[in-house]
Chain A
């Protein structure tokens, strides 16, 4: 049954034809990648014509070029939310390894203890967008717990939130310490506490998260964090060791995320690049806790890295510039930047990248 509107639309379209013919799109107003990259590459070309002596200055000019043309890259209007307003500081989280309160047991082993409190807290994850999060210690992601292989661990957990929660640690431990509802202490009710006790094994880059059902929201609302166990004999010393937790935010209750990030704040590292030095060994503990999407990825520009899946081996599995991780998968990225300058890193799933999972390494000359 044709509606009158359809006929009207058609009739109107007929008359619209001449107007459409005369139109040519204007590329000069492109707000997408083209303008930004165009500017940067233009300055790079200028550097080469200036000669090799201008290389350093050239790179700094490229940087300022980026700042002036930030709108050329994906991001929020006006940039990412300032950390103090957001309630999350991804840059601080990078190097914030929580080694706990240590003491020595009668058998000579090290005992590490942490206090972790589950609290409900609002975060401004994008300019003007408030996310009612559930968090460990008031941050998303929660504290990165650092231990040495063989240490005795005690995690004093208090649930100050409004829902049942647990902490489920990846690692090897007895069933009662697994943070699974119905086993051992099981679900920890609001106002209740429980102490998880187990030994640090095996070494590697792990994670912990809430295991209360329904699982997806209990994790996606922010109850997760990094859990790193160093080998007893240690790893070769890194000059710059950091943690990156890949996550997302589902704000509308649908089956996908509206925002993606590393260390909790979308586009943060676009405005506050990760600072590294030329030639130094950068070790990144990369953890994927993304919910609602099956796979996340990590890609770095202008460089390759060694990748140690789960960090449980001391020899790298591959030398690459892109790796993927499914939910709960993690590994160690070891990278050295041979040239100074600004190098983008992001999820190679461009949708995630443009929804916030995008940033820069800023390499200063050594």
Chain B
């Protein structure tokens, strides 16, 4: 009897007496098991599957990432984006087997090699370069019109900095000159202008996305267009998170007094800052595109383009100042906002010209797109009229006008 009681007690107490397995161990357990299984699988040479790839010829998928021309030389960087190793055995420049050296004889998947080809190219001439692999496959690299690639010296970096200021800082600052106009506008007209801003941002987001997808269309090494959307979603979520964190931080410091703003609305200053950050990220992406286009040397000449480009970007300044209609900031604050929005173009140009990598550029352009989209969404509550409607005929027209403005100024610079 007592024995029965004891055992019953023991049974009942057993779950309590056994020390609980630490949570981290529960998390790591499956990982260890997976690792062991995979190890065993590899050790046994993937039983049943190892003959799967027998007799299948290697796949050669190679993307051309960069073409640089210097006196008597063509340097081409390619990346292996296929599953099998690839060796470049010969280089053929417009049906001529040219002498070359390369940084890597055989590229493992995702590895790249830079081929330096001795070839006395003629300025302005087009070339078709074929990289012949060890299996006789040809990887084409087209040079539309040969031109000397810029040296990456200090003067080059100065030029990139200047370019960033031309296309980023100055236009944005010019656009902010609309501040007085915005201040004198009535509440309903401010809503229209906010609509215009939403339109501008929506255009930028779409345009940056298309641009980024185009950059990686020919290269799937790092997921291709997927990186653009990953970048966009990442930027969107980071900005949302930052915004929520800022709001909570402000709420806790001002908890003793009731908030004047409804919770779904942002303080105009913070909104202007968000817009500036979003546009700044976007301009960073643009700067990358400038720098890389310049570094690659695939440029069409046209002095009018830079002017048109500046006009095109001027509207970004308007977007920043519009939310500030009711609470005009000081000049210093405006200047900071302008720099936040415009200066990243210079940084992007420098980075793009130094380390050109299409997937990275596309990812950063995607970040810009996501940031701009987030700001556009954040602006929507401010469009609400007293009756609580977001899209009235006027604000809707404003959005269309904003997109139309960007589209039209875009046409201006088409050469």
Contacts and interface: CB of A to CB of B under 8 A. Distances in A.
Contacts, number: 175
Contacts of B150: 16, 19
A77 interface: yes
Contact of B410 (A7, A23, A31): A7
A27 B122 CA distance: 10
A2 B410 CA distance: 6
Contact of B87 (A30, A74, A128): A128
A98 interface: no
A11 interface: yes
A17 interface: yes
A254 B132 CA distance: 13
B404 interface: no
Interface residues of B, number: 64
B302 A8 contact: no
A23 B309 contact: no
B103 interface: no
B136 A7 contact: no
A69 interface: no
Given A2-B413, A8-B309, A14-B302, A251 B135 contact: yes
Q: Report whether over half of chain B's contact residues are helix, strand or loop; otherwise say mixed.
A: mixed
A273 B187 CA distance: 90
Contacts of B135: 129-130, 251
A258 B138 contact: yes
B303 interface: yes
A75 B290 CA distance: 38
Q: Report whether over half of chain A's contact residues are helix, strand or loop; otherwise say mixed.
A: mixed
A267 to B, nearest CB: 8
A351 interface: yes
Interface string A1-20: 11111111111111111011
Given A9-B299, A10-B415, A3 B95 contact: no
A237 interface: no
Nearest to B304: A10
A10 B302 contact: yes
Interface string B160-196: 0011001100000000000000000000000000000
A32 B306 contact: no
Given A11-B290, A26-B72, A27-B120, A71 B99 contact: yes
Interface string B132-147: 1111111000000001
B210 interface: yes
A128 B89 contact: yes
User: Which of A8, A9, A17 has the most CB atoms of chain B within a 10 A radius of its CB?
Assistant: A8
B299 A12 contact: yes
B72 A30 contact: yes
7 contacts: A3-B207, A10-B300, A11-B305, A16-B301, A17-B301, A76-B90, A355-B92
